[in-house]
Amino acid sequence: MEEQKEITPMPRIGDKAPEFKAVTTQGDLHFPNDYKGEWVILFSHPADFTPVCTSEFMTFASMADKFEEANCKLVGLSIDGLYSHIAWLRSIKEKIEYKGMKNVEVKFPLIEDITMNVANKYGMVQPNEAATQAVRAVFFIDPQGIIRSIIYYPLSLGRNFDELYRVIIALQAADEFGVATPADWRPGDDVIIGPAGSCGTAENRMAGNEDMDCKEWYFCTRKLDKDEVLDKILKK
């Protein structure tokens, strides 16, 4: 009888981020406990000393201060050892130039995961894509340690970093102002008000009795000033 492998279910949006302890390029890590009160982007990459991953790490490192201003820390992972990580990050700083970025120092933690413990907990290994490498997974985790958004990319596709930053800002704006954000939302764009919960509310909205613009009872928006959004989210 063929032995069945144990399958670890992927964490989902709304779940508590799976807890783990790990060694990183910045010391020991207890996740997500070490990041209470902060947003975190936990992301995986396939392997050290690979070109797409190099371009991504340079971009992440160059944007680290921008994410920090948005109360968001970065934590990377691959199924490589600590010394491989260190050598690769030193090589990036000393030898690689990409899109005007050079002498880039990666200061956020990069997790050693040669046992694949963390990668398996987070469903980062997709066997039909690669059995021994993590795909490009991105987990957005809130200050309470709850997974709020997940984005997956295959090995061949580098991430869109404007989108990763947009997501972290939009999630915080939705929480702060009790709204939803429409397609392609950026700070300064109109936001979405939740659908009316009763016929009376719907009637008031369509009669223009509330401070919003309603195209139909279920589609209402209101203005939200860009500075108001950024003043609430970005650190001063």
Backbone angles phi, psi at 217, to 5 degrees: -60, -25
Binding-site positions for substrate read 136
Q: Say which residue the tokens 């392609």 belong to.
A: 184
What amino acid positions are annotated as catalytic residues? 53
Beta-carbon contacts of 232 under 8 Å, excluding residues fewer than 6 positions away, are 172, 173, 176, 177
Q: Say which residue the tokens 């947009």 belong to.
A: 166
| Cβ proximity of 68 and 235 under 8 Å | yes
Cis check: omega of the bond before 32, within 30 degrees of 0: yes
Torsion of CA 168, 32, 120, 166, to 10 degrees: 0
Q: What is residue 30's DSSP assignment? A: E
* Separation CA 99–CA 58 (nearest Å): 10
| Cβ proximity of 90 and 98 under 8 Å | no
| Cβ proximity of 46 and 133 under 8 Å | yes
Backbone angles phi, psi at 55, to 5 degrees: -65, -35
